[in-house]
Structure 1
């Protein structure tokens, strides 16, 4: 009898590195995993939705910051098997710059939101979000500080 191939269930997420001046927008997670830790705004890609559209939607839902999906710059895919304790997640990361004075308000599953100067970025962001911020800063993007 031939061996049956086994596939791992994959989940798809989108995250946003949102810059305002020399600060990046972080949410305090309101739910496990990593409840109480800071993370980038983001979440699951819904059925029939692109990751870019999901990134814009999640940014709005979690922080009240509205951006056009077309303004989001693709940073990369993150697929390390251990990146999320809930299972195997593939994350698409995007970056955007918003004008000075842009306000953010916690919504959806964010307990709080905060504009954090890049120099003060916590060492222990949830998931692999510190890596995503570092990768974004290393790219030759016109949106980054």
Structure 2
């Protein structure tokens, strides 16, 4: 009888929110912590024990930017699970998309240094993690 050992990765579960205005801007936060401290990123965070990814997305968006949306205002945009997408280890993120009025105010909170609405045609570079790829997939350029 052979002895087999399976190796399983520790996977952390996060939720991202792509909030866009009806006039074509996207909400980004400036990270106040490593990794990617000082880089712009999509609002995101860990899913806490006892909550769904959708609940975490609503909570993280409000904590980091002050923007409040209801769960039914978010729609699933995709799942990103590339093994090397985060230097801290294996992270799987569920990304949601919401559209808000152009006059929606955002104020940095939680661990964000800043929160700002950026034109989709003039995003800061480089973005943290794989957020440029996520935005390009979810919000492809219009011609």
TM-score interval, normalised by the smaller of the two chains: over 0.9
Give unmatched runs, 5+ long, in structure 1: 139-145
Q: Calculate the TM-score normalised by the size of structure 2.
A: 0.94
Paired residues for 1:122-133 under 5 Å: 122-133=124-135
Stretches (4+) displaced over 4 A:
none
For these two proteins, the number of residue pairs brought into alignment is: 139
What's the CA shift for 1:122?
Answer: 2.2
Q: Where does residue 17 of structure 2 map in the other structure?
A: 16
Secondary structure at 1:135 match in 2: helix
Aligned counterpart in structure 1 of residue 109 of structure 2, from 107, 110, 116: 107
What's the CA shift for 1:66?
Answer: 0.0
Query: CA deviation digits over 1:10-62, x for unaligned, max 9?
Result: 00000011001210000000000000000000100011111111111000000
Q: Where does residue 56 of structure 2 map in the other structure?
A: 54
Paired residues for 1:1-145 under 5 Å: 1-20=2-21, 21-138=23-140
| CA–CA separation in structure 2 for the residues paired with 1:43 and 1:84 | 13
Q: Calculate the TM-score normalised by the size of structure 1.
A: 0.92
CA-atom RMSD, angstroms? 1.2
